[in-house]
Amino acid sequence: METASSPPEPPRKRRYPRLELQAAVKVQHSGAGLLLPVRNVSRGGVLVAASGHDLSAFPLGTTHSLTIFDPDDPTREARIEARVVRHDNTGMAVSWDHSTDAVATVSTFLDRFYSKR
């Protein structure tokens, strides 16, 4: 007896497009800041590279203070609270898309970042 299989689900469309940029993120944890390079960013989250750091101190679901900044101009920055949503062997993804204020803050940062180029 054959069973009907459901068709594959279409790929999920991202809420915000991913952007490649040369930037860095400082993540606060236990009173210290960890500097990590940005792999890609959107208006709702960022994927950072581990760059040899052990990121196990940032478990899934935890929230951390985060600063994204332009390494060419450290006065250009966005400070937000972000939640860890994914880990892999090369880095971690954090999100702030649950906060309208954080999305607006990062949007302003990205607009300024790209306007200087």
Per-residue pLDDT tens over the stretch 72-116 = 887 889 999 999 999 988 999 999 988 999 999 999 988 887 776
Mean pLDDT of 2-31: 71
CA nearest neighbour of 66 among 53, 49, 78: 78
The model's pTM: 0.80
- Helix (H) or strand (E) segment spanning residue 113: helix 100-115
